[in-house]
Amino acid sequence: MAALSRAASSAIRRPPLLLPSRLQAARSMASSLFGHVEPAPKDPILGVTEAFLADPSPDKVNVGVGAYRDDNGQPVVLDCVREAERRIAGNLNMEYLPMGGSIKMIEESLKLAYGEDSEFVKDKRIAAVQALSGTGACRLFADFQKRFLPDSQIYIPTPTWSNHHNIWRDAQVPQKTFTYYHPESRGLDFAGLMNDIKNAPDGSFFLLHACAHNPTGVDPTEEQWREISHQFKVKKHFPFFDMAYQGFASGDPERDAKAIRIFLEDGHQIGCAQSYAKNMGLYGQRAGCLSILCEDEMQAVAVKSQLQQIARPMYSNPPVHGALVVSIILNDPELKSLWLKEVKGMADRIIGMRKALKENLEKLGSPLSWEHITNQIGMFCYSGMTPEQVDRLTNEYHIYMTRNGRISMAGVTTGNVAYLANAIHDVTKPN
């Protein structure tokens, strides 16, 4: 359990970064103050975009990063966001937000995650701060965990989003892994998962993907979530939900919060990282929220003040523009319903592309089963391709994706799906 899975470690292993010779020469001449600083390895996800941008081929396809594209392969700004921006421009000021961020944005975020009429929101039992998108929310929590429960560890699923490992590593929280994915069935390893939950020491911290698990696209069923929640209760574990894709699993943010709601019904204290990067398309705005459900209001006040204290020396207070966009949209019934329609539209286009990719592979006569492309949900297809097969896709077809075989379905379009299928068929067909 302690070791990283093969898929996770192969995703992390990348060729060393080569410096241009001009830079290398400058480096050897430089004073020795930073002489020991080696170039960092490329990021397994964001490094793919860098390589894609550097490729001059007109055929190139980027299915690496999980960022939504329209059917022409272009980034999308939602109409609800454009309208919110119109209302901001020339009207609202750009003053500092409080250390904990926008109160309005936090209130709306809590309703989305915990439910419109949540008793926990009404009882003010939730300590919440605006965070630098999902990544910042996870990091703030990890720092909080280290500061107030210095002997605790974090259990992270195998596999997971690669940055989870970096986040808890830099916060100096020891990591353990737990079983999640079953490579043979390309589904959930439920028995393995339950075993690892049972075998972890009582009161352990677990990182759970609230929906649309990245990279596998495999989520527990409602019934399985109930069993997981029950076992967490028995073991007094603490669930920390990373909810980066609320709305992208089913097309409906309310349905996608089901796992969290099950845990709430069962009386757990939980933590939750929310991101508006994907579901509102606010990627670069860094809009998110970290919340921790506490025992009572007094505890929530204390916890929030400590989260702010961690934020203050790092970035002082979070950015204002994305927070305004989020609160304007979620506060206005018309804009909110437009947003819900647009989220569903994005989720539906991805579902359509799953079908198209599978059909194209079948049409080409691939003898392999591609059922998992349409069984998996959310932004990604965990294709089962090996790192070597992915390297061939990149080198021979200019198709860019992470080496763990993850395809970002958000980058697949009517225009490139046949090309993609043909290349996948070529590198996966048995000799």
Catalytic positions are 161, 242, 278
Q: Does 65 bind ligand PGU (CB under 6 A)?
A: yes
Nearer to ligand PGU, 30 or 46 (CB): 46
Q: Residue 133: left if φ>0, alpha if ψ -120 to 50, beta else—which one?
A: left
CA torsion 277-280-281-282 (nearest 10°) is -60
Q: Tell me the C-alpha distance between 20 and 23, whole Å.
A: 5
Task: State yes or no: residue 214 binds ligand PGU (CB under 6 A).
Answer: yes
Using the rule CB under 6 A, which residue among 66, 100, 281, 319 binds ligand PGU?
Answer: 66
Nearer to ligand PGU, 229 or 402 (CB): 402
- Residue choice 7, 45, 357, 423 for contact with ligand PGU (CB under 6 A): 45
User: How many residues contact ligand PGU, by CB under 6 A?
Assistant: 17
Q: Which stretch binds ligand PGU (CB under 6 A): 129-137, 190-198, 232-240, 294-302?
A: 129-137
Residue type, 170: D
Torsions phi, psi for 59 (to 5 deg): -85, -5
Question: Judged by CB under 6 A, which of 118, 163, 306, 389 binds ligand PGU?
Answer: 163
Output the smallest distance, CB 28 to ligand PGU, in A.
33
- Binding to ligand PGU, residues 268-307 (CB under 6 A): 275, 277, 283, 288
Q: Checking DSSP bridges between strand 154-158 and strand 126-132, what pairing results, if any?
A: unpaired
CB 156 to ligand PGU: min, Å:
11
In the numeric block, the tokens 């966009």 are attached to 325
Partner residues linked to 334 by β-bridges: none
Residue ranges in 333-352 that form contacts with ligand PGU under rule CB under 6 A: none
Residue 286 or 425: the one with the smaller Cβ distance to ligand PGU is 286
Q: Is there binding between residue 210 and ligand PGU (CB under 6 A)?
A: no
List Cα–Cα distances, 209 to 378, 387, 413, in angstroms. 12, 24, 26
318 part of the interface to ligand PGU, by CB under 6 A: no
Which tokens belong to 222? 């409602």
Q: Per CB under 6 A, which region of 22-30, 131-139, 198-206, 354-362 contacts ligand PGU?
A: 131-139
In the complex with ligand PGU, the residue whose CB is nearer, 244 or 324, is 244
Q: Does 161 bind ligand PGU (CB under 6 A)?
A: yes
By CB under 6 A, tell whether 179 contacts ligand PGU. Answer: no
For strands 187-188 and 205-209, give the pairing.
unpaired
List the one residue from 47, 100, 101, 134 that touches ligand PGU (CB under 6 A).
134
Among 62, 133, 413, 416, binds ligand PGU (CB under 6 A): 133
Residue 408: CB minimum distance to ligand PGU, A: 6
> Least CB distance from residue 45 to ligand PGU, whole Å?
4
Which residues from 229-268 bind ligand PGU, rule CB under 6 A?
A: 242, 244
Which among 409, 358, 359 is positioned nearest to 381, based on CA atoms? 409
Q: Judged by CB, which is closer to ligand PGU: 135, or 366?
A: 135
Q: Which residues bind ligand PGU (CB under 6 A)?
A: 45-46, 65-66, 133-135, 161, 163, 209, 214, 242, 244, 275, 277, 283, 288
